[in-house]
Amino acid sequence: MALMITEACTACDACEPVCPNKAITAGDPLYVIDALKCTECVGAEDEPQCRLVCPQDCIIQHPDFVESREDLQQKYEALHG
């Protein structure tokens, strides 16, 4: 499942540099996760790094991107070759 950022985001920029897939970008006004790139950090880390650093606790599961751990691993490998 990809993650998404809610309206509680304060654009603090803590999450963007920690994403192993470069899936997070500064939007206007909220930061945005590209669901096609987010693997919930599967393939790179034990848990979602953006969630660990977000002071607002505003990163949730994206309801439209339900993917198994296996799917996420394949997605990671496709992104990184």
Site residues for ligand SF4 per CB under 6 A: 3, 5, 9-15, 18-21, 23-24, 31, 33, 38-41, 48-50, 53-54, 56, 58-59
Whether the bond into 29 is cis, omega within 30 of 0:
yes
Q: How far is the CB of 77 from ligand SF4 (least distance, A)?
A: 13
Smallest gap, in angstroms, from Cβ of residue 78 to ligand SF4?
A: 13
Q: Which residues pair with 24 in a beta bridge?
A: 33
Q: How many CB atoms lie within 10 A of CB 25?
A: 12
β strands within 1-81, DSSP E: 3-5, 24-26, 31-33, 59-61
Least distance to ligand SF4, CB of residue 44, Å: 7
